Amino acid sequence: MADPVDGPPPARKPADVFTARLVSGATFPAPADLPLLVAAEHAGLNPPSSCRNGTCRTCIAQLTQGQVRYRIQWPGLSAEEKAEGYILPCVAYPVGDVVLRLGVTF
Protein backbone atom coordinates (compact mmCIF):
# COMPACT_ATOMS: atom_id res chain seq x y z
CA MET A 1 0.00 0.00 0.00
CA ALA A 2 1.39 3.41 -1.01
CA ASP A 3 1.85 6.12 1.57
CA PRO A 4 -0.51 9.08 1.15
CA VAL A 5 1.05 12.32 -0.07
CA ASP A 6 0.22 15.54 1.70
CA GLY A 7 -0.64 18.67 -0.23
CA PRO A 8 -2.95 19.61 -3.06
CA PRO A 9 -3.51 17.27 -6.00
CA PRO A 10 -1.33 17.91 -9.04
CA ALA A 11 -2.62 20.64 -11.33
CA ARG A 12 -4.57 19.47 -14.34
CA LYS A 13 -2.66 20.07 -17.53
CA PRO A 14 -4.60 22.63 -19.55
CA ALA A 15 -5.94 21.41 -22.86
CA ASP A 16 -4.56 22.77 -26.08
CA VAL A 17 -6.75 25.58 -27.36
CA PHE A 18 -7.05 25.98 -31.10
CA THR A 19 -8.89 28.52 -33.24
CA ALA A 20 -12.09 27.66 -35.03
CA ARG A 21 -13.02 29.99 -37.86
CA LEU A 22 -16.37 29.98 -39.57
CA VAL A 23 -16.45 30.52 -43.33
CA SER A 24 -18.38 33.70 -42.50
CA GLY A 25 -15.22 35.01 -40.81
CA ALA A 26 -16.17 34.73 -37.12
CA THR A 27 -13.66 32.96 -34.88
CA PHE A 28 -13.87 31.29 -31.49
CA PRO A 29 -11.51 29.36 -29.20
CA ALA A 30 -11.74 25.60 -29.64
CA PRO A 31 -10.21 23.65 -26.74
CA ALA A 32 -9.05 20.14 -27.64
CA ASP A 33 -11.10 18.68 -24.79
CA LEU A 34 -14.46 20.19 -25.85
CA PRO A 35 -16.67 19.22 -28.77
CA LEU A 36 -16.76 21.96 -31.39
CA LEU A 37 -20.49 22.44 -30.76
CA VAL A 38 -19.90 23.23 -27.08
CA ALA A 39 -16.97 25.53 -27.91
CA ALA A 40 -19.19 27.44 -30.36
CA GLU A 41 -21.91 27.78 -27.72
CA HIS A 42 -19.38 29.00 -25.14
CA ALA A 43 -18.44 31.70 -27.65
CA GLY A 44 -22.05 32.88 -27.82
CA LEU A 45 -23.00 31.19 -31.08
CA ASN A 46 -26.23 29.26 -31.41
CA PRO A 47 -25.61 26.44 -33.90
CA PRO A 48 -28.45 23.99 -34.48
CA SER A 49 -28.31 20.94 -32.23
CA SER A 50 -30.48 18.32 -30.62
CA CYS A 51 -29.23 14.92 -29.45
CA ARG A 52 -25.57 15.81 -28.76
CA ASN A 53 -24.47 12.21 -29.27
CA GLY A 54 -23.88 11.99 -33.02
CA THR A 55 -27.11 10.36 -34.13
CA CYS A 56 -29.68 13.03 -35.04
CA ARG A 57 -27.51 14.99 -37.52
CA THR A 58 -29.11 18.31 -36.53
CA CYS A 59 -25.70 19.89 -35.95
CA ILE A 60 -24.11 18.69 -39.22
CA ALA A 61 -21.38 21.05 -40.43
CA GLN A 62 -18.77 21.07 -43.14
CA LEU A 63 -15.10 21.11 -42.21
CA THR A 64 -13.27 23.04 -44.93
CA GLN A 65 -9.83 23.03 -43.27
CA GLY A 66 -8.23 21.16 -40.40
CA GLN A 67 -8.91 17.87 -38.69
CA VAL A 68 -11.16 16.57 -35.94
CA ARG A 69 -11.32 13.39 -33.90
CA TYR A 70 -14.53 11.76 -32.73
CA ARG A 71 -15.53 10.78 -29.22
CA ILE A 72 -17.38 7.87 -30.78
CA GLN A 73 -16.45 5.69 -33.74
CA TRP A 74 -19.84 5.56 -35.43
CA PRO A 75 -20.93 9.14 -36.10
CA GLY A 76 -24.06 9.14 -38.24
CA LEU A 77 -22.44 10.15 -41.51
CA SER A 78 -22.09 8.22 -44.73
CA ALA A 79 -18.69 7.57 -46.28
CA GLU A 80 -19.58 10.06 -49.04
CA GLU A 81 -20.47 12.77 -46.50
CA LYS A 82 -17.22 12.21 -44.64
CA ALA A 83 -15.29 12.43 -47.92
CA GLU A 84 -16.98 15.80 -48.60
CA GLY A 85 -15.84 17.11 -45.22
CA TYR A 86 -19.07 16.85 -43.26
CA ILE A 87 -18.73 16.42 -39.50
CA LEU A 88 -20.98 16.26 -36.45
CA PRO A 89 -19.67 19.03 -34.15
CA CYS A 90 -21.48 17.58 -31.12
CA VAL A 91 -18.97 14.71 -31.03
CA ALA A 92 -16.05 16.24 -33.00
CA TYR A 93 -12.98 17.52 -31.15
CA PRO A 94 -10.42 19.72 -32.91
CA VAL A 95 -6.94 18.35 -33.50
CA GLY A 96 -5.66 21.79 -34.56
CA ASP A 97 -7.06 25.00 -36.01
CA VAL A 98 -10.20 24.40 -38.08
CA VAL A 99 -12.40 26.23 -40.55
CA LEU A 100 -16.01 25.14 -40.77
CA ARG A 101 -19.46 25.97 -42.03
CA LEU A 102 -22.05 25.53 -39.27
CA GLY A 103 -25.75 25.00 -39.89
CA VAL A 104 -25.41 23.11 -43.16
CA THR A 105 -28.76 22.20 -44.70
CA PHE A 106 -29.51 19.71 -47.44
- Smallest CA-to-CA distance from 72 within 49, 58, 87, 54 is with 54
Q: Are 34 and 94 in contact (CB under 8 A)?
A: no
Residues 6+ apart with CB under 8 A from 74: 54
75 confidence band (pLDDT: 50, 70, 90): low
| Kind and range of the H or E run holding 36 | helix 36-42
Beta strands 98-101; 17-22: pairing state: parallel
pLDDT tens, residue by residue, 18-65: 999 999 899 999 999 999 999 999 999 999 999 988 889 999 999 999
| pLDDT higher at 74 or 21 | 21
> Alpha-carbon distance 88 to 74, whole Å?
11
State the total domains in the chain.
Answer: 1
pLDDT score for 92: 94
Q: Which pTM does this prediction carry? A: 0.83
The domain spanning residue 52 has which CATH number? 3.10.20.30
76 in any annotated domain: yes
74 in any annotated domain: yes
pLDDT tens, residue by residue, 84-100: 999 999 999 999 999 99
